[in-house]
Chain A
Amino acid sequence: DIQMTQSPSSLSASVGDRVTITCRASQSISNYLNWYQQKPGKAPQVLIFAASTLESGVPSRFSGSGSGPDFTLTITSLQPEDSATYYCQQNFNLPHTFGQGTKVEIK
């Protein structure tokens, strides 16, 4: 199975800050990488697919980059509503494994 490792596990940042979350796959997965946001008590929502394509309706402050084993999710100007846990997921091979999550808190 492909292992997905996110860092950091949690972070605290101020409104307006630039936030970066990284995700590393245990093998090359080309660009078969998605990012999800999950708020407490809610279902996850897709933010980015194919490593860098913004899902329709997602604010443009979210962006994704990378390929192969290393990927990045960036929030350019953190907003209060971005307080959530973020997960990467590979869909290169079965099983479609998720990273362990990164909890983003607002200072």
Chain B
Amino acid sequence: QVQLVQSGSELKQPGASVKVSCKASGYSFGTYAINWVRQAPGQGLEWMGWINTYTANPTYAQAFTGRFVFSVDTSDSTSYLQISDLKAEDTAVYFCARTYYDSSGYDSRRFDSWGQGTRVTVSS
């Protein structure tokens, strides 16, 4: 079955960097995009962007340009989110999610499989 398994919780100091992994299994990795979604404590879901797992081309939401980098390792079916110069406001749970769509068309796109989430805490 399709699975996305993320790396474990991280506690970082302000100014440090963190790299979160999302390992896919159960399907052909390069066929479907991977999205990243942030959820700050007690808040809603915020779409950060996505990466084309075939071309490794990333697309970022405007709020996530500069310090945020998406990457892939196709040999290991793994996507990565790296955040540099961490700030207290980066404290959140970060989810990866696969975009799936079927032959009925682009309106069938949805995030059908999600990682379990990685909690990143930024504190001195």
Contacts and interface: CB of A to CB of B under 8 A. Distances in A.
Contacts of B57: none
A34 interface: yes
Contact of A101 (B44, B50, B61, B109): B44
A91 interface: yes
A101 B59 CA distance: 24
B116 interface: yes
Contacts, number: 67
A100 B104 CA distance: 28
Nearest to B48: A95
Contact of B47 (A49, A51, A97): A97
Given A50-B104, A53-B108, A45 B114 contact: yes
A47 to B, nearest CB: 9
A85 B39 CA distance: 13
B80 interface: no
Interface in B67-121: 95, 97, 104-112, 114-117
Nearest to B64: A95
A80 B35 CA distance: 31
Contact of B45 (A30, A44, A46): A44
B46 interface: yes
Interface of A: 1, 30-32, 34, 36, 38, 43-46, 49-51, 53, 55, 85, 87, 89, 91, 94-101
9 contacts: A38-B45, A43-B115, A44-B111, A46-B111, A50-B107, A96-B35, A97-B47, A98-B47, A101-B44
Interface of B: 35, 44-47, 49-50, 59, 61-62, 95, 97, 104-112, 114-117
